[in-house]
A and B are shown apart, each in its own frame.
Chain A
Amino acid sequence: MRDVRPEGRVSRTDILHVRSSRTAYFMAAPALLVFGFYVIYPILHTCVLSAYSWDAAGPQKRYLGLANYTALAHDPFFGIALKNNVLFIVLSLIVQLPLAFLLAVAAGSALRRHRAIRTAFFAPFIMPIVAVGLIWQLIFEPNFGALNTLLRMAHLPQFAHGWLGDPPGLAIWSIIAVSNWRFVGYHMMILLAGLQAIPEEFYEAARLDGCTGSQVFRHVTVPLMRRVVLVDALLIAVGSIKIFDLVQVMTGGGPNHASEVLATYMYRTAFTEGRMGYAAAIAVVMLVLTLIATVVYVRVTRGEEVGEL
């Protein structure tokens, strides 16, 4: 019964403090250990592995230093994958961010009234991504797929293509289009949540000062949305670096690596070809790209009231 303990030389608050800090370690430890074991240790191990040549079939590893990375620099398929990821990032940013912002701002009030519209934009995001990939694979099917049939029905057969591989360079564009379709509603929701967090008084004050609609938008909405938009841009960039599922489902990186991205190339190199060390080097490149995106974000927002991401 610590409540009835008389005050001694060691004050009660001291005892409580020691106890509570021990409890603090004890309560945080399980999460930290699991996280360290399944995330931090493997990341470090991946970095180490990237310096070795290691075939999955045998236990022996051979130290190569940076040779995996110099090989990557001369690997045409890696070049295609990197280029596709960059294309993914750029197109996702310039399509999704403005479109999502437009939907959230200009249509914010309308979306509020017609809940069905909001759901329509959000629907592609709540569907399982493999299901999305399969539906679009059928839509893009060259002979009886929905898109080509529609084009022929509209007497535009010259626009009918093998959207997922003929010509090979077209596949990645089709996949990016599907990705934009899937994620724009999600980003609309994020920006909408940001808009709704702006206190109504700000708008009223601006209107009382005689601001027009576009002035209110420029001087109230835009500055207050800056942080949410930047966080969202970071999410889009990192998501585009990590992109795997849609590509894997729709083309598997083909034809002949034309639609390969880093994640699918890494997966194929490691678990189909068994070149573990080389695949680890690709994973490290993905990690570094993610890091760069994060650093850019931190630098852009530095000095602002950032809170915790």
Chain B
Amino acid sequence: MTGPHPPTPLSINGEGETAHGKQRLPYSHARWRETGRITADLPLILLAVLFVLPVVWGLVASVKPADELQFKPWSLPSRIVWHNYVDAWHGRIGQYLLNSAVITLVSVVVIIALSAPAAYSFARLKFRGSAAMFLFLLGGLLIPVHAVLIPLYQVNEALWPRDWALREWLSIIGPYIAFGLPLTVLLLRAYFVSIPKELADAASIDGAGHLRTLWSVFLPVARPAVATVAIFQAAWIWNELPFAMVFIKTPALRTLPLGLLSFQGEHATEWQVVMAGVCTSIIPLLILYFVFQKHIIKGLTAGAVK
């Protein structure tokens, strides 16, 4: 059972792409180097600690008794006050989380549903004016949302009947979808172009139409790209504030960012409860991050590195 090679660093840090097929050094040598490196990394480690310190401080503040937060901001809590979280939950944080989850899910699904056929069309079909149309869409990548707020305010007033309970959600989901389209079409198109022509031709010889080919050949193959771009859009929509501030007036319909903001207004003097609300909003994201780390990093940086 004794292999000729020592356990590779790959299995230690779980990274799959560090090797580049290079020769490994003997174990003792590697360990010596490792120690040297950790010393060299020390400033970096200190900086990293400094970076997470504010978050950790906020986390500690969220379980402190009110007077300790006021008078001993840097001390550890003498007792853990979970009740801050109960108060935060009664302040509708749970409702806001749910609202944001629904809005994000609906928007992302529609973004993909609209973008995939368009990306397929731009990648494979090339109609007259398609290059111009594609550029037209790309122009949307850098547009500040403030440039559309006022006209969209009028559009939404006219579009959705006043007695519809969900008109405020419909008012923000529309722009969320529209602003999500450019990057999604761009990334899916780039992926579709890289799919071998033979694969698509095989499908059309079997008599499949374009929509069918898209659904049963392209989308399954492009699943990593779809996941990447879905994560990017979800993160954006989850965090979006200006549209929500303009279009959502009903307290029960607030998204999480808007809810947190109003929450602070309602609990102005109870910072420990505000911090509990803040941490409640962070924790689901941190869990998601640790589960899907690789996809998330790829998804969030996708826009820049193509």
Contact = CB atoms under 8 A, between A and B. Distances in A.
Q: Name which of A107, A113, A135, A150 has the most chain B CB atoms within 10 A of its CB.
A: A135
Contact of B142 (A186, A193, A290): A290
A89 interface: no
Given A21-B125, A249-B261, A186 B58 contact: no
A34 B147 contact: no
Contacts of B145: 242
A3 B300 CA distance: 45
Given A35-B182, A107-B44, A27 B211 contact: yes
Interface in B253-302: 256-257, 260-261, 264, 271, 274-275, 278-279, 281-282, 285-286, 289, 293, 296-298, 300-301
Interface in A109-148: 109-117, 119-131, 134-139, 141, 144-146
B37 A117 contact: no
Nearest to A45: B151
Interface stretch (A72-80, A161-169, A208-216, A279-287): A279-287
Contacts of B155: 37-38, 42
B210 interface: yes
Contacts of B271: 138, 141
B51 A181 contact: yes
B121 interface: yes
Interface residues of A, number: 101
Contacts of B149: 266-267, 270-271, 283
Give the interface SS of chain A, mostly helix, strand, loop or mixed: helix
B57 interface: yes
Nearest to B210: A23
B143 interface: yes
Given A23-B125, A228-B305, A139 B57 contact: yes
Contacts of B289: 119, 126
B152 A42 contact: yes
Interface in A169-189: 181, 185-186, 189
A105 B252 CA distance: 47
A139 B54 CA distance: 8
A107 B41 contact: yes
Contacts of B125: 20-21, 23-24, 27
A19 B146 CA distance: 40
A128 B246 contact: no
A49 B148 CA distance: 11
B76 interface: no
A55 interface: no
A220 interface: no
A115 B300 CA distance: 17
A271 B247 CA distance: 10
Contacts of A270: 149-150
Contacts of B103: none
The B interface, classified by DSSP as helix, strand, loop or mixed, is helix
A34 B114 contact: yes
Nearest to B184: A31
B306 to A, nearest CB: 7
A31 B114 contact: yes
B74 interface: yes
B52 interface: yes
- Give the one of A49, A128, A244 with max B CB within 10 A: A128
Contacts of B297: 122, 189
A190 B305 contact: yes
B217 interface: no
Interface string B163-197: 00000000000110111011001100010000000
The 7 closest A-B pairs by CB, nearest first: A38-B178, A24-B125, A42-B148, A42-B151, A31-B118, A120-B48, A24-B127
Given A24-B126, A34-B181, A37-B178, 17 more contacts: A23-B121, A27-B118, A28-B121, A38-B148, A38-B179, A45-B151, A49-B150, A110-B37, A110-B44, A121-B48, A125-B300, A126-B286, A131-B278, A190-B301, A228-B304, A267-B245, A286-B146
Interface of B: 9, 13-15, 17-18, 20, 22, 34, 37, 40-41, 44-45, 48-49, 51-52, 54-55, 57-58, 61, 69-71, 73-74, 114-115, 117-118, 120-122, 125-128, 130, 133, 136-138, 140-152, 155, 174-175, 177-179, 181-182, 185-186, 190, 205, 207, 209-211, 214, 235, 238-239, 241-242, 245-246, 256-257, 260-261, 264, 271, 274-275, 278-279, 281-282, 285-286, 289, 293, 296-298, 300-301, 303-306
19 contacts: A23-B209, A23-B210, A24-B130, A27-B125, A30-B118, A46-B151, A123-B52, A126-B235, A130-B239, A130-B241, A190-B305, A193-B301, A200-B20, A244-B241, A248-B261, A270-B149, A271-B246, A276-B150, A308-B190
Interface of A: 3, 20-21, 23-25, 27-28, 30-32, 34-35, 37-43, 45-46, 49, 103, 107, 109-117, 119-131, 134-139, 141, 144-146, 149-150, 153, 181, 185-186, 189-190, 193-194, 196-197, 200, 228, 231-232, 235, 238, 241-242, 244-245, 248-249, 262-263, 266-267, 270-271, 276, 279-280, 282-284, 286-287, 290, 293-294, 307-309
